[in-house]
Structure 1
């Protein structure tokens, strides 16, 4: 029996997932499994004879490109369609990542790295918008938890593959493998994804019911930013990102400062990964039944509380408990955070809404380490007061912006109630 009329189970969601969504989930796994550029660009360039400063400049260009790519990808996807953006994003990423192997000077490395970052991220708003368009409202959160699961699995297994390539091959082969992952997804998208012809032009935009609507003039990011409640939400995302990234920035410094070794830090990271991979999809079965603002606000509050707990006694058990608390905050909030922008967006601005929510998170991840380390060196443990408070403030902003009791925007009679592969055939921007 279809789970469409009720809140879907895990197996029911997998079984009835539209073919296009399955392809996007697999593509998400492929790109995260072969995402070596971020982790190894600096090491690669210094290995090739670039100075540490020059390598840092190229890495900065890569990060700027990734943030810009999200914004550009969102705008272009709303104009020309999701499939074209995904295909060209992956092909461009493949070519530019491979070209980095042959960068002979700083300016070439900077330009190519920046463009590689732009193309690498341009597909994400289109991919997430397409998932929203083809997924019934009562499955949105769980499907996005599957996307996060594939990303986390790829990010966990990818470094193991990178280690093998570096031992038995070279940095060149590592980057070619990264390019190969993008190329595989691009070819897969070109061959396996179908799209309606009206959606491949700026003239039409697809709605959640699969129909084509006329584009609304005067749109763009300016229109997104006039949505005051959504702006509160994205400010909350920015503060949450600054808080979350401290697990990589100041937590290792903190662990060593209280007399523990890097082994304990590795254990805390393992706890985080275990909880996310094991519990996130399972918990989404229940969180998807709630008004969407509630799990987001509760999860962000738990993130803040978990970081504040590092101020207490510093035994191994209590450090592990604090890590479990903020990790469950991530597990509870993250799938709803990914689903929310596409759910509440007007169809013609769906990719832009998703990009507008993603860019502040990327910016928070970029500036968060500088903020955390600066506060740590100046005021020590006060970093947990600051970042924990950020999590609490983010929860309040999201509670106000998204609401804690409002029904999901499309839960009513006009919302999508059949998955794309069960509904009557229609033409959409994304298509299937």
Structure 2
């Protein structure tokens, strides 16, 4: 096989057609999701809001996002993936049009909060649908492509947003609404519902599977039967192995948020211009767009927790270097290091998240996982600003140390995670076998 064809097969081959329609929907959605990037500027320049009020409205959007990921997870498991995606995108398009035409600041604040809710709802549904569609051996490449599409779309959005904002804020919101409608059209046309019935875990896997799964299975032995507890969002919120992974992902998100929250302040203190900051950010985006497709070949032969430990360690090193940064060249070199770390982390992070979720709770588990990002967007600037003000460059030592602790955490938490995943797979295999045996016992008509 030709080397280029072999590389493409290893990077993107063997994925179902429906995955590519989901991928296209993510790309279109991200490329058109630029209106909220300029929300604060729109409020101050077009609507006469003060900076404090603009900050509160943007905060309302962020708070809505935290609600949206939980709501999206519950609806993904109850309504289905396709229905949740369609409702979220169609509602978003309508709210964008309403935002474009609204002039009262109170109404704009309410609409911004609602947009935050529906903007975040699709994330659990997208990932749950990918897990439904893609066999486990190929999920790493699927999540790698998802991360690539997200970043490619964000790069396009950043370019388009500046042009549209200078021309017309009305156009900014309306084009965003049109892109959202286009995503809904792709989903309605080409993406079927992927949610299927799930099976009860077997007794053999019950000891290692999540507690709620074993609670839902029929009891055995002389003990009196108890009322089965229906697994729900509380299952994900009390799953210690999963929450340990979520906590480590939160640290990763806090590290990533440094680039958009604290690093600009540090660069300004070093006498560097906004264009220098833009160059550092652009370098990271370019590396992801150009290099992400080569990541699967680098990591597929290694255990996921080892890859996550190495990638988190690289991010810790990159941000730790900023302790001695005072020139643009040092910032650019550090950006290369932490960007490579984030590129390596993306596929195994998403895959572990998917593997830990029981099939009937995929949406809910995804929603709890995605809470880490709005939480990090609050914690990183709040604590980071205080740290930078009072500790100066030592702030980056703390950030680097936090990353190294998370890297060690992945090495320690990896084996229990792998045992949990193995138990869940046995559970599903026994469930399929039991279902097949039951069907065989049904007499032919």
Matched position secondary structure for 2:193: coil
CA deviation string 1:102-149 (max 9, x = no partner):
323233112211111111111110110111121122221221111111
- 1:219 corresponds to: 231
- 1:152 corresponds to: 151
2:288 to 276, 279, 286: 276
- 1:17 corresponds to: 15
Aligned partners of 2:405 and 2:191: how far apart in 1? Answer: 41
Matched position secondary structure for 2:421: coil
- 1:163 corresponds to: 162
Does 1:339 pair with 2:339?
no
Aligned partners of 2:274 and 2:38: how far apart in 1? Answer: 21
TM-score by length of 2: 0.82
Aligned partners of 1:408 and 1:282: how far apart in 2? Answer: 29
Aligned partners of 1:36 and 1:295: how far apart in 2? Answer: 32
- 2:222 corresponds to: none
TM-fit CA distance, 1:266: 2.7
Q: Specify whether residues 402 and 230 from structure 1 end up closer, same or farther in structure 2 by C-alpha distance, changes over 3 A only.
A: farther
Runs of 5+ consecutive residues of structure 2 not aligned to the other structure = 201-212, 217-228, 430-445
CA contact (8 A) 1:78 1:350 kept: yes
TM-fit CA distance, 1:373: 1.5
Question: Within 5 A, what are the aligned runs for 1:24-103?
Answer: 24-46=22-44, 47-103=46-102
For the aligned residue pairs, the C-alpha RMSD in angstroms reads 2.8
Q: Specify whether residues 406 and 339 from structure 1 end up closer, same or farther in structure 2 by C-alpha distance, changes over 3 A only.
A: closer
Runs of 5+ consecutive residues of structure 1 not aligned to the other structure = 2-7, 208-212, 418-432
CA deviation string 1:268-320 (max 9, x = no partner):
22321222222222022231332221211211111111111122364544433
CA contact (8 A) 1:73 1:85 kept: yes
CA deviation string 1:141-187 (max 9, x = no partner):
2211111111111111112222332344x111110111111111112
CA contact (8 A) 1:229 1:402 kept: no
TM-fit CA distance, 1:358: 1.1
TM-fit CA distance, 1:30: 0.8
CA contact (8 A) 1:98 1:176 kept: yes
Q: Specify whether residues 345 and 405 from structure 1 end up closer, same or farther in structure 2 by C-alpha distance, changes over 3 A only.
A: closer
CA deviation string 1:363-397 (max 9, x = no partner):
11222112212111111112101211221122223
Q: Specify whether residues 290 and 404 from structure 1 end up closer, same or farther in structure 2 by C-alpha distance, changes over 3 A only.
A: farther
Does 1:230 pair with 2:242?
yes
Matched position secondary structure for 1:403: helix
Aligned partners of 1:261 and 1:166: how far apart in 2? Answer: 22
Count of residues paired in the alignment: 399
Aligned partners of 1:303 and 1:93: how far apart in 2? Answer: 34
CA deviation string 1:331-390 (max 9, x = no partner):
111221122211221101111111111101221122211221211111111210121122
CA contact (8 A) 1:230 1:401 kept: no
- 2:137 corresponds to: 138
Aligned partners of 1:411 and 1:290: how far apart in 2? Answer: 21
- 2:255 corresponds to: 243
CA contact (8 A) 2:322 2:396 kept: yes
Aligned partners of 1:252 and 1:69: how far apart in 2? Answer: 29
Q: Highest Rg: 1 or 2?
A: 2
Does 1:265 pair with 2:277?
yes
Q: Which moved more, 1:288-297 or 1:355-364?
A: 288-297
Does 1:360 pair with 2:372?
yes
Q: Which moved more, 1:406-415 or 1:137-146?
A: 406-415
1:179 to 177, 180, 187: 177
Q: Specify whether residues 235 and 15 from structure 1 end up closer, same or farther in structure 2 by C-alpha distance, changes over 3 A only.
A: closer
TM-score by length of 1: 0.85
Task: Specify which structure has the higher proportion of helix.
Answer: 2
- 1:105 corresponds to: 104
